[in-house]
């Protein structure tokens, strides 16, 4: 995995369309603005198959926006997102949504949200089966045992028929992970998935994520859990003000940061 | 004083006119149910059209918004006259076939269907606004979650957004239904033989308003329970929202901190 600091004279990367080196996921010079707010200022990043990339950084640094750009919930305005050889941004910029690209990315990329976003009118099981049944058109007799197995894997075998409002935050988040897994994604994005949880519920969610990582799932994890990043990540990416400031092995970035901004951030979060 | 009591509560007239007024009220009920169901459907169609995404579909959104603005902004009676006059004149002219110009579907009289069309056009617009409020009240994360597991906008609306929206808007939709039911009396103006028509005939014959009082009682027998039902539903919803605001009984349902399925896995 290589990453270049984007602030250094925006390297105008050729819009490739395919990644010759077979990189699983590559972001090239990704920009995103919300009105006048320039949230992403040219992010470059590469993720290899099976990697766990933890993205850390102060709030407002663009971490969540970056994740949302990867699965086109927020289509980037500039730059390329190349997933398994297909450039998701190679579309008419005036189009509202590139349905083909969206379809491609949503079938390969799962996402788990900070606020869980479970469907409250569906049981835990129905939350998991809805995608496979309605999007992939599979029969419920086929999908149901798989969904039950997935819920078992996240430790909720006894909760499959509960509605989300009967589940704790940690349980809801584990259902959300099972829901993402049910679509058989090639990579899962985690958007501060433990930030909305009571402290005592954090571990059960992180344990599920550790397990996924150990099984070789490719993961991009935006997190404030430094312990998790140190232990599980293959790469840690530090973002600030819309750019990647520093990246590398967790030991390097977290223990011996080179950049001043990284040092300051780590000083603040590790102090308390 | 005697005159007032006699004018409104002449038991003889009430007894004699009971069957006629009841017949009229049966039409009121039929008209309310048919128009109500069609308005519910038409309103949902309008609300969904109004939420269609993308630049290409902007004209559809504008037309829908224009329609809703117009039909919410003009009296239902005016719509009834526009519809009945147009269909009748078009049929005479030969532009509109008789089955549509002078409809007698399911054995119901023509004025009945004119009323259904006019009220559905108007109340569909009202109900579209109610649905819209419900759709917009569904948190944005729901659409994102639905899209993130690969659903199209249409699938997300159908399986995720609209089912949640409809639950929250049942009370206001019932309120609109009550208003619709009262507005069915407007078909009197296009020759409808409903409660007002029955009461009006009797009033003309007897110079007595008791038949109207009977009609009012019939209305209230339906509208008051419906209004109470709306109250109950709203209270129930509020209680649910209040419960939902708390961390869902985290102490009760929380498993041991390590998910059992993951132990030693």
> Which band of pLDDT confidence, cut at 50, 70 and 90, is reported for residue A126?
very high
B91 belongs to a structural domain: yes
Give the pairing type, strands A218-222 and A243-248. unpaired
Q: Is A129:A123 a contact under the CB 8 Å cutoff?
A: no
Q: Which one of A96, A174, A198 has the shortest CB-CB distance to B259?
A: A174
The Cα–Cα gap between B42 and A180 comes to 35
The Cα–Cα gap between A68 and A48 comes to 19
The Cβ of residue B201 has, within 10 Å, a number of other Cβ atoms equal to 16
Q: What is the mean pLDDT of residues A6-21?
A: 42
Residue B253 forms contact with A (CB below 8 Å): yes
> Quick one: closest CA in A to B55, which residue?
A96
Residue B255 forms contact with A (CB below 8 Å): yes
Q: Which one of A131, A152, A171 has the shortest CB-CB distance to B261?
A: A152
- Per-residue pLDDT, A98: 57
- Nearest CA to B200 out of B185, B182, B221 is that of B185
Alpha carbon B131 to its chain's center: 11
Q: Which one of B53, B141, B261 has the shortest CB-CB distance to A153?
A: B261
- Domain containing residue B73: CATH number: 1.10.3720.10
Inter-chain touch A200–B145, beta carbons under 8 Å: no
The Cα–Cα gap between B108 and B34 comes to 11
Which residues numbered 162-181 in B keep a CB inside 8 Å of some CB on A? 163-164, 167
Which residues numbered 150-169 in A keep a CB inside 8 Å of some CB on B? 152-157, 159, 162, 164-169
- Per-residue pLDDT, B1: 78
What radius of gyration do chain A's Cα atoms show? 19
Whether pLDDT at A8 is above 50:
no
> Quick one: closest CA in B to A129, which residue?
B149
Which DSSP state fits B259? -
For B48, residues 6+ apart whose C-beta sits below 8 A from its C-beta are B131, B157, B162
- Per-residue pLDDT, B263: 39
- Nearest CA to B189 out of B111, B104, B250 is that of B111
Inter-chain touch A165–B244, beta carbons under 8 Å: yes
> Which band of pLDDT confidence, cut at 50, 70 and 90, is reported for residue A104?
confident
- Per-residue pLDDT, A197: 93
Alpha carbon B221 to its chain's center: 18
B240 belongs to a structural domain: yes
The Cα–Cα gap between B48 and B158 comes to 10
For A21-69, how does the pLDDT look when each residue is reduced to its tens digit (9 = 90+)? 568 999 999 999 998 899 999 999 999 999 999 999 998 899 999 999 9
Cα distance from N-terminal residue to C-terminal residue, chain B = 89
B253 belongs to a structural domain: no
Which residues numbered 195-214 in A keep a CB inside 8 Å of some CB on B? 198, 200-201, 203-204, 207-208, 211
- Per-residue pLDDT, A234: 95
Whether pLDDT at A112 is above 60:
yes
Inter-chain touch B259–A152, beta carbons under 8 Å: no
How confident is the prediction along chain B (265 residues), in pLDDT tens digits per residue?
789 989 999 999 999 999 999 999 999 999 999 999 999 999 999 999 999 988 889 999 999 999 999 999 999 999 999 999 999 999 998 888 888 888 888 988 999 999 999 999 999 999 999 999 999 999 999 999 999 998 989 999 999 999 999 989 999 999 999 999 999 999 999 988 888 988 898 998 899 999 999 999 999 999 999 999 999 999 988 887 666 544 444 444 434 444 444 433 3
B46 belongs to a structural domain: yes
B259 belongs to a structural domain: no
Residue B243 forms contact with A (CB below 8 Å): yes
Inter-chain touch A165–B54, beta carbons under 8 Å: no
Average pLDDT over all residues of chain A = 87
Describe the strand order of the beta sheet including A37-47 as a list of residue ranges.
A37-47, A25-34, A78-83, A86-87
Residue B140 forms contact with A (CB below 8 Å): no
The Cα–Cα gap between A11 and A27 comes to 12
The Cα–Cα gap between A89 and A30 comes to 10
- Per-residue pLDDT, B251: 40
Q: Is B143:B160 a contact under the CB 8 Å cutoff?
A: yes
Instruction: Kindly provide the ipTM of the predicted complex, given to two decimals.
Output: 0.85
Comparison of pLDDT for A271 and A146, the residue scoring more: A146
Nearest chain B CA: its distance from A207 CA (Å): 7
The Cα–Cα gap between B125 and B122 comes to 5
The Cα–Cα gap between A243 and B96 comes to 66
Provide the domain limits for residue B224. Answer: 2-245
Length reported for chain A? 272
B254 belongs to a structural domain: no
- Per-residue pLDDT, A6: 41
Q: Which one of A113, A119, A168 has the shortest CB-CB distance to B253?
A: A168
Whether pLDDT at A182 is above 90:
yes
B258 belongs to a structural domain: no
For A221-243, how does the pLDDT look when each residue is reduced to its tens digit (9 = 90+)? 999 999 999 999 999 999 999 99
Nearest chain A CA: its distance from B159 CA (Å): 8
B261 belongs to a structural domain: no
- Per-residue pLDDT, B238: 83
Nearest chain B CA: its distance from A197 CA (Å): 10
Cα distance from N-terminal residue to C-terminal residue, chain A = 32
> Which band of pLDDT confidence, cut at 50, 70 and 90, is reported for residue A216?
very high
Whether pLDDT at A269 is above 90:
no
Nearest chain B CA: its distance from A50 CA (Å): 19
Report how many domains make up chain B.
Answer: 1
Question: What phi and psi values does residue A191 have, to the nearest 5 degrees?
Answer: -105, 90
């Amino acid at each position: 995995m290589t990453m270049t600091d984007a602030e250094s004279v925006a390297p105008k990367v050729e819009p490739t369309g395919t990644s010759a080196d077979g990189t699983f996921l590559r972001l090239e010079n990704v920009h995103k603005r919300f009105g006048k707010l320039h949230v992403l200022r040219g992010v470059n990043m590469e993720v290899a198959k099976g990697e766990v990339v933890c993205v850390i950084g102060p709030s407002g640094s663009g971490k969540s926006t970056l994740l949302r750009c990867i699965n086109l919930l927020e289509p980037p305005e500039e730059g390329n997102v190349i997933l398994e050889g297909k450039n998701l941004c190679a579309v008419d910029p005036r189009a509202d949504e590139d349905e083909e690209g969206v379809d491609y990315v949503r079938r390969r990329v799962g996402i788990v949200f900070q606020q869980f976003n479970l469907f409250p009118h569906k049981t835990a099981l129905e939350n998991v089966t809805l995608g496979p049944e309605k999007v992939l058109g599979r029969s419920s007799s086929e999908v149901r045992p798989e969904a039950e197995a997935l819920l078992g894997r996240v430790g909720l075998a006894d909760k499959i028929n509960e509605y989300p409002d009967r589940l704790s935050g940690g349980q809801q988040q584990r259902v959300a992970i099972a829901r993402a897994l049910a679509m058989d994604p090639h990579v899962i994005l985690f958007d501060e998935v433990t930030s909305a949880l009571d402290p005592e519920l954090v571990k059960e969610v992180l344990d599920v994520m550790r397990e996924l990582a150990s099984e070789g799932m490719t993961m991009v994890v935006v997190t404030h859990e430094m312990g998790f990043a140190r232990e599980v990540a293959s790469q840690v990416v530090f973002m600030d003000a819309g750019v990647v400031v520093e990246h590398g092995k967790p030991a390097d970035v977290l223990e011996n940061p080179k950049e001043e901004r990284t040092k300051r951030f780590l000083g603040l979060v590790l102090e308390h | 004083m005697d005159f007032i009591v006699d004018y409104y509560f002449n038991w003889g007239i009430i007894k004699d006119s009971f069957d006629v007024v009841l017949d009229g009220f049966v039409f009121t009920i039929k008209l309310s149910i048919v128009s109500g169901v069609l308005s519910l459907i038409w309103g949902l169609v309008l609300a969904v059209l109004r939420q269609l995404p993308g630049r290409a579909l902007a004209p559809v959104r504008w037309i829908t918004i224009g329609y809703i603005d117009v039909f919410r902004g003009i009296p239902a009676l005016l719509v009834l006259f526009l519809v009945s006059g147009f269909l009748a004149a078009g049929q005479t002219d030969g532009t509109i076939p008789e089955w549509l110009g002078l409809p007698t579907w399911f054995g119901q009289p023509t004025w009945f269907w004119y009323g259904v069309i006019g009220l559905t056009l108007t109340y569909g617009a009202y109900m579209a606004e109610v649905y819209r409020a419900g759709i917009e009240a569904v948190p944005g994360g729901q659409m994102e979650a639905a899209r993130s597991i690969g659903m199209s906008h249409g699938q997300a609306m159908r399986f995720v957004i609209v089912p949640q929206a409809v639950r929250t808007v049942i009370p206001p939709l019932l309120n609109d239904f009550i208003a619709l039911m009262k507005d069915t009396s407007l078909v009197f103006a296009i020759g409808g033989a409903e409660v007002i028509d029955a009461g009006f005939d009797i009033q003309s014959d007897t110079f007595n308003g008791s038949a109207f009082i009977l009609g009012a009682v019939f209305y209230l027998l339906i509208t008051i329970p419906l209004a109470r039902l709306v109250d109950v539903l709203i209270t129930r919803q509020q209680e649910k929202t209040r419960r939902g605001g708390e961390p869902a009984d985290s102490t009760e349902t929380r498993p041991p901190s390590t998910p059992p399925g993951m132990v030693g896995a």
